[in-house]
Structure 1
Amino acid sequence: MRNKGLVITLTLIVSALCVYFLYFTFVSRRVQDDAVAYATRNGVVDQTKRQHYLDSVWRAPVTKVLWSDYTYRDVRASELGLGLDLKGGMHVTLEVSPVEIVRAMANNSKDPKFNQALAKAQEMQKQNPSTAFTTLFAQAWRDVAPGDKLARIFANTTNRNRGIDANSPDDKVLREINAEVEEAITRAFTILRTRVDKFGVNQPNIQRVKGTGRIQVELPGVDNPDRIRKLLQGQAKLEFWEVWNLGEIGPFLQQANELIVAADKAKTTPAAATAATATSDSSATAAATDTTSLAGQLANRSKAKDAAKDTSAAAQQQNLGLFRYLIPVDQNTLIAKLSDTARVNAMLARPEVKATLPPNLTFMWHFKPDTRDKTEYLTLYPIRKARDQQAPLGGEVVSDARQDYDQGGQPEVSMQMNPTGAKKWQKLTGANAGRQVAIVLDDLVQSAPRVSGEIAGGNSSISGSFDIEEAQDLATKLKSGKLPAPTRIVEEAVVGPSLGQEAINQGLYSSLAGLAVIMVFMAVYYGRAGLVADAALLFNMFLILGVLAQFSTALTLPGIAGMVLVIGTSVDANVLIFERIREELNHGLGLKDAINKGYARAFSAIFDSNVMTLIIAIILGFFGTGPVQNFAITLGIGVFTSFLSAVFVSRLIIEWLTKGKEKSAISFSTVVSRNLFQNVNFDIVGKRKIAYALTSTIIVVGFVLMYVQGGPNLGVDFRGGRAYVVDFAQEMSASDVREHLHGVFQNAGTEVKTYGSPDRLRITTGYLANDESVEADRQVRAALDKGLQQYAAQKPVVQSTSKVGATIADDIKKTSVLSLGLTLLAIFVYVLFRFEKWQYSMAAVVALIHDALFVIASYPIARALGLNLEMDQVFVAAVLTVIGYSMNDTVVIYDRIREYLRENPNLTFAQVVNPALNSTFSRTMITATTVLLVVGVLFIFGGETLRSFSFAMIVGMIIGTYSSLFIAAPLILDTTGGKEKGNQPSSPTDAAAPKLNTAANA
């Protein structure tokens, strides 16, 4: 093997990286196991104690790699995570509404034509959900105000910096509107990412959906969907507030503390309550009359090096109640341990405490913990509110903000306000010279700079203990403020943790079973060579998991499906190689020569088939979302790892085993396989017309049944609606439940089917499918709960929910068709490039369309036979994967035909096609068997989530193998007439033509 040193070096580097990243996964699991052990008593896990343990080690070193310590937070950031379907949690797709953006650019114009056009565009959007709103608005404007210019509405002070004036043409205005919408989506994404990060979920995932105004958010492990909806859909508040000095509020805090101490003592010693109250009253009176003294007490307390040693009554009093947790650092700063902030909030929220504090005093925490003596603290700011409870200045006045550097080279934020804001800012800073002004986003203080004097002109800078990224983020927040437009949830899925654990078990069992079946088959069929393939297969699995961890990609159930599929298809490379080696051995070559020639001859077909699979993965990854995208990522990674392990690693092992040996070093067959598929001579091409008629009839029958059944059985992904997985205490009748739910869902399309086990049902309804509001979600859920009330004795529990709005369902349909079309086009072009004749491309694409139609037709046929399966996004992934598999098979046959034509230049296509089909028959059957074993295991053990996928794969593997033999190659014969002759040998080594049996040809 050439470049052996390079291959070994590359393999070692990749392996080391995989070990490095997977190590963090093992460390993370170990820490989590320790947390469970810590929180378990009498076999019951206290989740609060478990979380407390994990919080305590969040920033603590838990492992050491080389010379670096890694905290639990570092480990979690680098581990191989689990997706929602394996861990439970929530997936949300939000859409930023452009209506409010257009309205804001028009300065909330009251012009009747403008508002009529907006209303008409909104109605048009319902009929054309995938068309950009700005396009529909332009069309509506032309209909409502023909000849009138958009500049009349949009030429205002707000858009002056965009270059829109009274003479701007409509095209210019629309370009700027589109630009503003795009910027608004970007700002919304930034704000949502900040909120998600603030929420504190481990390994959250937030990303923009390419080519749309949508944002996808995945939050593993969350169990409060309502809270998430409010978090994501509420519009952020950016505000500027005045800050009290501690000297001004010290007496009130002292009085509040004494009330808390008295109340706490009264709970433990009721007899002392009266005395404590009296003490509190007298202390409060003194506090109110001696502000300086009380402020001094606070300052002196903060300066004490060891308050525990101070035995004075005053010190003991201050170390109780509120001041036990809220620590004055100096005259202007209050801090509390991060773990004590909830206690402080609870104390300040007590009615008697709130009654003691001034009505214009509220408290807000800083957004970022400060580490002191290895302990995290948060700063608490006393905020002064106006009588109307409104901030003196809101974020809407910030026209620009950017990250900059101060004179000392430290990061800071420069901001510019609009004219109205500049005047208010000048007034606010002038009134607060020498005091702090808090910049607050979503009720968390981002910065509280001390104002040195009145700031005129609206230009100012904010400095603090920022790093560059924090300064950049703050600049973004200042510029964006609250969400630029309302967001609505257009797709949602909530998976319960118990359903996630079940999915883990199903995915694990199916993966292990599929792996075991393949390894046993290869060992039985190929002997010691099969064991080499098994070693390469295990190495391939290791590489896939390692690469997934390196890219921080969560492992999902569709991802496991992709991995299981890679297990099956990666074996195909070894099958191709081993079958080639067996052929060369049968032709009389020595072992080493046969191995070298076998790898060389198989390389072309392996390369082409991997390129085909990669094309599928890229298209699925680009156009797919959620589970389909994760499947595509795993499949794409599998292409590279399979190529490395099957082609190069397996060869390194085989060459090592045969080094210095010529015989008995390794076997490529066993008693079981030695004479199997030998001297095969089927007249495959001669039966092509029967094959054409047979599958065409089945396809027609399937589509007729689909028509009779009222159309395809589309999942929520394609038709919109809401779906719920409900567990019951006993076996339930799906038809009975559907009958009772039909009425509460107001006769909307409702489907109920058994989901995995007799006591679990999946309920899908189109009720209020076009209404994507949170209120509609509640309304549908309330209807479901009402319908399930009569089954209260069976204790129904909703384990997961999902919602797909009509807009996104329409987009999924279009992207599915587009991805299928692009796949076929890419295959046509690639085959044309590799085989240089359009007949090869045409025959391949027709065969692939045949396969796709057959798989689609199999669903109504299965439905008629009692197997009710839905067509959803994962089904599309299955169809495209079938296309990839079928193309792999076809490419192997094409490659053999091309080889025979080159080596036998005097023979025609008609004379070599049957020998080519027969010579690849053993490889075709073995690969089909291995893949069918894998997807069969997936169908049995993969669970209901992957039932539709695995069924499509089983049908697709069978029909893909069939079409490669009976459709693709025979179609070339029909379109060329079979008279085409081969080319001259491309090299001297190709001149020795194999002896072909051309008796059985068309």
Structure 2
Amino acid sequence: MLQFPLWKRLIIIAICVIGTVIALPNLFYSRVELSNDAVTAIERGAPETPELAAQRGEWPRWMPHELVNLGLDLRGGAHVLVEVRTQDVHAERLEGLWPELRDRLRDIRDQVGTVRRLTGTADELRIRISTPGGMEAALQAVRDSAQPVFSLTGAGSREYEARAEGDQIIVTLSEAEKQAVDERTMQQSLEIIRRRVDETGTREPSIQRQGADRILVQVPGIGSAEELLQIIGKTARLSFHPVVNQTSDPNASPGLDNMLLPAMDQPGVYYILERRSVVTGEQLVDSQPSYDQNGLPAVTFRFNPAGGRAFGDYTAAHIGQPFAIVLDNQVISAPTIQSHIAGGNGIISGAFTVEDAQQLAVLLRAGALPAEITVLEQRTIGPELGQDSVNAGMLAGLVALAAVALYMTVTYGLFGLFANVALILNIVLIFALMAIIGATLTMPGIAGIVLTIGMAVDANVLIFERIREEMRTARGPARAIGLGFERAFATIMDANLTTLIVAVILYIMGSGPVRGFAVTLGLGILCSIFTAVYVTQMIIGAWYDWRRPKSVTV
């Protein structure tokens, strides 16, 4: 067992050396981070100023530059818990059914008479027919147009239900459709929030769904929760609508198929617009901050082919008429169409600052949230508090390492020193693996590392105690050492495998801090098996080949 073949020694040495090199940048965290930020800024199109070039040169690019990301509790940043108002999407879904149902009922006008939409609650669509005798035919036409719900749980269900109430048809979404809409809304909200946060260049944000309609967003390194809400809190729903009229009366009646919206930068001015939009922000493929013909900040945009075609056809047919640009139920501007706008390109101008234009471009590129969000909780963790946590975690780790190293040295002598070398390599390899997989280190993660320090020497204790037993019966120290490693291996694997299973379950079932603990614990177990068994065995084997002692004291 002590005679390691050369290839095995080379593999073990290579793993230790490569792991040490990969983990090395974490000793120069600030310099490497500054260099990485500068490289990212240049890749995003920032001009390469002398200052930026100097920051990039803080760390050689030929060296590994992956860092262990620090979590919110170690770095400071923003914590926001929001609730997605999925009920708003239900109302929009019903709103979208009206044109189709209206056309269906008009096809059987000889049976139902005239068709008129009535004002109802947000969770229902009310349609009145003038010939109550044709109610059965009307209900059948409405029900026939309902499509199956596209979800696993809604198999066999239709997207909406219809019932008669006098001369009115009441249309409501089915429960299966509501669940499917809620699920789609949450998934879309998660993706759009993730895109918005990624656009800002922040490192390792944590964006998780909590419960049925809540999203937790934690972004390390950001200045405040208010700054984060400026990014994720706006719906950023862009649409273009024909203008019916302009008024100064906030209580003016717009009509059933119209809507009354205020002007964003003109207090007291309101626009009556057609509810039907010509194009929407969902058809945008790009948006960039720019300047208009007067040199004022603006935002350029570009539609996809379908959106560009609809935009071009409308502007060609309505030259000389006003056309409103609406963002989150406010009219940004309502310019008059001067000519046919082909190609699907345009510019949004208004009372923007440079920062406003940049932020709006980011929001439009990432896409609009499908529903408004309500802030339930917001917290800002200052960098000083984060640094205090880092210092406390480092102190805890150093104290644990020193105590374990002292115990191993006093108890097992030279073999204890060998175990301490393996223990240090174990910690180095944990940081190397975390840097490779992009894991985030949190305070619970530090607790996992401290626990790993204690668990890592357990394997060596089992091995050394086994060697002690074998020394009483084995022929010579080499045989005793070999049998000690061989017979302790199964016990070591069983003990670590059970703990690894617990770490995997914690990662799958847990969230946030629990996952951080599970990651470092799991990586620590894998590294400790490697270092405690193979690295320690190789070191002891090399020492024995060098000294050839007649007896060994453990």
Shorter-chain TM-score: which interval? Answer: 0.5 to 0.7
Does residue 50 of structure 2 align to residue 62 of structure 1? Answer: no
SS state at 1:515 partner: helix
Q: Which residue number corresponds to residue 115 of structure 1? A: 123
Whole-angstrom distance in 2 between the partners of 1:95 and 1:4: 60
Partner residue in 1 for 2:464: 578
Instruction: Quote how far apart the aligned CAs of 1:233 are.
Output: 2.3
Distance 1:538 1:162, change over 3 A: closer
1:211, CA displacement in angstroms?
8.1
Counterpart of 1:223 in structure 2: which amino acid?
Answer: G
Instruction: Quote the residue 1:592 is aligned against.
Output: 478
Asked if the contact 2:78/2:379 (under 8 Å) is kept, the reply is yes
Name the SS for the 1:107 alignment partner. Answer: helix
Between the aligned partners of 1:537 and 1:525, the Cα distance in structure 2 is 16
- Equivalent runs, 1:883-894 vs 2, <5 Å: none
Q: Distance in 1 between matches of 2:83 and 2:238?
A: 22
For the 8 Å contact 1:237–1:395, the answer to whether it is kept is no
For the 8 Å contact 1:239–1:391, the answer to whether it is kept is no
What is the identity, as a one-letter code, of the residue corresponding to 2:223? Answer: D
Name the CA shift for 1:114/1:239 in 2 (closer, same or farther; >3 Å).
closer
* Correspondence for 1:503: 389
CA distance in 2, matches of 1:187, 1:85: 28
Provide the residue aligned with 1:656 in structure 2: 542
Q: Would the aligned equivalents of 2:23 and 2:428 in 1 still touch at CA under 8 Å?
A: no
- Contact in 2 for aligned 1:32/1:54 (Cα 8 Å): no
Q: Which residue of 1 aligns with 2:533?
A: 647
Pair 1:226-2:226 in alignment: yes
Contact preservation (8 Å) 2:188, 2:370: yes
1:591 Cα offset (Å): 1.1
Aligned-residue offset at 1:24: 3.6
The 8 Å contact of residues 393 and 446 in structure 2, kept in 1 or not, is answered as: yes
| 1:208 partner SS | strand
Report how far residue 216 of structure 1 moved. 3.5
Deviations 1:370-393 (A, max 9, x none): xxxxxxxxxxxxxxxx99599999
Give the letter aligned to residue 222 of structure 2.
Answer: V
1:500 deviates by 2.0
8 Å CA contact 1:98, 1:485 repeated in 2: yes
Figure out how many residues of one structure are paired with residues of the other and give that number: 430
Corresponding position of 2:491 = 605
Equivalent residue for 2:111?
A: none
The one of 84, 87, 90 equivalent to 1:96 is 84
Deviation at 1:501, TM superposition (A): 2.4
- Indicate conservation of the 8 Å contact 2:312/2:344, yes or no: no
SS for the counterpart of 2:416 is helix
Question: Closer, same or farther in 2 for the Cα pair 1:55/1:523, shift >3 Å?
Answer: same
Deviations 1:448-506 (A, max 9, x none): xxx99666xxxx7779xxxxxxxxxx9x9879842101223455543233322222221
1:485 to 357, 364, 371: 371
Task: Tell me the distance in 1 between the aligned counterparts of 2:385 and 2:140.
Answer: 53
Counterpart residue identity of residue 426, structure 1: D
1:665 is displaced (CA, Å) by 7.1
Q: Is the 8 A contact 1:97 1:488 kept in 2?
A: yes
Rounded Cα–Cα distance in structure 2 between residues aligned with 1:211 and 1:503: 29
Structure 1 residue 532 displacement after superposition: 0.7
**What does 1:169-208 correspond to in 2, within 5 Å?**
169-170=157-158, 176-201=177-202, 203-208=203-208
- The answer on whether the counterparts of 2:444 and 2:513 sit within 8 Å (CA) in structure 1 is yes
> Secondary structure at the residue paired with 1:62?
coil
**In the alignment, is residue 620 of structure 1 matched against residue 509 of structure 2?**
no
Conserved? CA contact 1:507–1:557, under 8 Å: yes
Q: What is the letter of the counterpart of residue 517 of structure 1?
A: A
Distance 1:504 1:25 in 2: 13
Q: Give the structure with higher Rg (CA).
A: 1
Give the Cα separation in 2 of the matches to 1:503 and 1:54.
Answer: 35
Alignment of 1:454-603 (within 5 A): 481-490=367-376, 492-603=378-489
Relative distance call for 1:506 and 1:553 in structure 2 (3 A) is same
Residue 475 of structure 2 aligns to a residue in which SS?
Answer: coil
TM-score normalised according to structure 2 size: 0.63
How far apart, in 2, do the equivalents of 1:664 and 1:515 lie?
32
Q: Say which structure, 1 or 2, has more relative contact order (CA 8 Å, 6+ apart).
A: 2
Q: Partner amino acid for 1:88?
A: G
* Alignment deviations for residues 284-340 of structure 1 (CA, whole Å, 9 cap, x no partner): xxxxxxxxxxxxxxxxxxxxxxxxxxxxxxxxxxxxxxxxxxxxxxxxxxxxxxxxx
Pairwise CA distance, 1:622: 1.5
The C-alpha deviation readout for 1:418-448, integer Å capped at 9, x for no partner, is xxx975552236679xxxx9999999xxxxx
1:428 paired residue number = 315
Q: CA deviation at 1:65?
A: 4.1
Structure 2: stretches of 5+ with no match in the other structure: 36-48, 98-117, 126-138, 161-173, 242-262, 287-301, 331-337, 347-359
Percent identity, aligned pairs only?
29
- Pairwise CA distance, 1:600: 1.3
Q: Are 1:85 and 1:556, in contact at CA under 8 Å, matched by a contact in 2? A: yes
Give the counterpart of 2:73 among 59, 74, 85. Answer: 85
Residue ranges of structure 1 left out of the alignment (5+ in a row)? 35-52, 118-148, 242-359, 363-385, 404-411, 444-450, 464-473, 669-1002
1:234-273 correspondence to structure 2 within 5 Å: 234-239=234-239
- SS of the aligned residue for 1:106 comes to helix
* Distance of 2:484 and 2:29 partners within structure 1: 44
| Superposition deviation, residue 581 in structure 1 | 0.8
1:876-926 deviation per Cα after TM superposition (whole angstroms, max 9, x unaligned): xxxxxxxxxxxxxxxxxxxxxxxxxxxxxxxxxxxxxxxxxxxxxxxxxxx
Query: Aligned-pair distance for 1:399?
Result: 6.5
Q: Distance in 1 between matches of 2:140 and 2:488?
A: 64
Q: 1:108 to 1:63 in 2, by over 3 A?
A: same
Match of 2:521 among 625, 632, 635: 635
Q: Tell me, in whole angstroms, the C-alpha distance in 1 between the residues paired with 2:270 and 2:143.
A: 37
Amino acid at match of 1:63: W
- Aligned equivalents of 1:116 and 1:452: distance in 2? 41
Give the secondary-structure state (helix, strand or coil) at the position aligned to 2:440: coil
Q: Normalising by structure 1, what TM-score?
A: 0.37
Say which SS state the counterpart of residue 658 (structure 1) adopts: helix
Counterparts of 1:442 and 1:576 in 2: how far apart (Å)? 69
Q: Tell me the alpha carbon deviations over residues 326-362 of structure 1, each in whole angstroms, 9 at most, x when there is no partner.
A: xxxxxxxxxxxxxxxxxxxxxxxxxxxxxxxxxx999
Offset, 1:237? 3.2
**C-alpha distance in structure 2 between counterparts of 1:502 and 1:8, whole Å:** 41
Q: Residues 99 and 452 from structure 1, CA distance in 2 versus in 1: closer, same or farther, beyond 3 angstroms?
A: same
Q: Rate the CA distance shift 1:218–1:592 in 2: closer, same or farther, 3 A.
A: same
Quote how far apart the aligned CAs of 1:54 are.
11
In structure 2, relative to structure 1, the CA distance for the partners of 1:200 and 1:516 (3 Å cut) is: same
* 1:599 to partner: Cα distance: 1.1
Give the AA of the match of 1:64.
P
The corresponding residue for 1:11 is 12
Aligned partners of 2:373, 2:22: CA distance in 1, in Å?
A: 37
Residue 225 and residue 211 in structure 1: after superposition, are their counterparts in 2 closer, same or farther (change >3 A)?
closer
Corresponding residue of 2:257: none
